[in-house]
Structure 1
């Protein structure tokens, strides 16, 4: 699936490149490919990304710099570097969590899909609200990653968000004081940096922060509701079942975080 997404968005990138209104944007896209390639290759060499993850990161990074410029690239790099820094799965994660440190292509797209969609929308419609939505996606992904990685290191006091029953650290849908605090700090960090580099009004900080926290909570709720109980959903039209994997839950939560920020931006900021 990640390879199909790579092919689809590479095609879209070519279309955007050809139809770009000015050569500056075309150069940004080309430079985005170069910079994303360098950082993704370094992440692969250091064990942070798998081969598929590297190619997916190049595509996402190309859009981040090509359409969002260096400012959005800085925010995205802050997410990636901080996430790698707080990750220590081999030592801390629970037994039911994968011990593989390398992030695959689907994991990259789970956090980057809505980022790319909102950046394309911001370019096509020339609407700043979609840029705010893209930043909220990054903030949501960072908050969730920090909550998961740091919260999993809590030896006890982890509770299922739906029932508040005590569970093992790292359990899908589990929340803890340490994990929640980490999520809040991450949301503040990304929101603050975003407002600073883009010179937004302080109200944008509040809505990105609120969207990130809500998106993170929704991620935990969906994890408890579906992943913890191994539940699936049957689609009425095609009569097919959808299994809620961690990647799907991340995609939904980051999308909700971004859409909430867009809505708040349109009506209140």
Structure 2
């Protein structure tokens, strides 16, 4: 899909992500706001308390260099008790350790990541990576990085030709904050849910949430593979709703080449999730099917709603978020109803 400018609905995804970050940090005994003696390295339910000192919150969250401490302190104070009672958060790795490890890895990969992300996208990806590490450890972090690398690689396929045709990703294919959260916010929610309740949260097991996490990213990679390979190699491109022939890059357009690529993309990331022991072998099948079905659902949304009058809020990033939600939901259904997880 072509990248659009950041609109109000797209910014709302970033705001949602920021609130989730504050909730996790506020409720986490692994956060920098809680003494080290209280840190637990298990995913068991823990009683998290939020500090009453707004000055420490201000110092911890005022990372932009602007005077936003009072605002973030107010928000954090408001969501802290809610987060503590809702999540009873107990991540796998202390937040401060996750931040440190993420900083080292991002520093090591900075030259490569700068080619994939804008400056703002880099900062948001750092926040995402830290939270994924504190919830799922290196496995969750690595899966997301693998998605980023594979997605960037396929985006660059015949990139100059796609640029000439006006259907290439904007900014040379570099991702911004809206892309980061549109692609991974669903996954972060699934990751957070997987470490709640000592093995079960809202009646759903942690293994199912892990499957949904993998499926959400597999869904986005399948969509990227379908879009980029379809634009590069698609011989016949048609609208998924009417089968009318359209130009490559049209919202809701599909091709045989892109459809096959979607299966490959979803399968690749699902297999990687299996290789690093996030999901089981049957989970690979469920994740791949979920990714494929969600990608086609996304094409339907693109053809019927996106860029239509009255649906201006349906930007690419909002559609991507819905796409990953559908993939995760199908995976949850598959995990519970088919695999009996």
Structures share fold, TM-score greater than 0.5? yes
SS in 1 for 2:195: helix
Matches within 5 A, 1:5-24: 5=16, 7-15=18-26, 16=28, 17-18=30-31, 21-22=40-41
CA distance in 2: counterparts of 1:50 and 1:263, whole angstroms: 36
Trace 1:111-130 onto structure 2 (pairs within 5 A).
111-125=183-197, 126=199, 127-130=206-209
Deviations 1:53-98 (Å, cap 9, x if unpaired)?
1111111111222211222222212111111111134431543665
TM-score, reference length from structure 2:
0.69
Partner residue in 1 for 2:290:
211
Calculate the TM-score normalised by the size of structure 1: 0.87
- Pick aligned residue for 1:45 from 100, 114, 121: 114
Q: Is residue 230 of structure 1 aligned with residue 241 of structure 2?
A: no
Larger radius of gyration: 2
Whether 1:151 aligns to 2:151 is: no
Partner residue in 2 for 1:99: 170
| Aligned position for 1:34 | 103
2:315 corresponds to 1:245: yes
Q: Is the 2:114–2:122 Cα contact (8 Å) retained in structure 1?
A: no
In structure 2, distance between residues paired with 1:166 and 1:188: 28
Aligned to 1:260: 330
- Per-residue deviation, 1:43: 4.4
Pick closer, same or farther for the CA change 1:3–1:176 going to 2, 3 Å. Answer: closer
Structural RMSD (CA):
2.4
Give yes or no for contact 2:240–2:254 (8 Å, CA) kept in 1: yes
Instruction: Output the CA distance in 1 between the equivalents of 2:213 and 2:22.
Output: 20
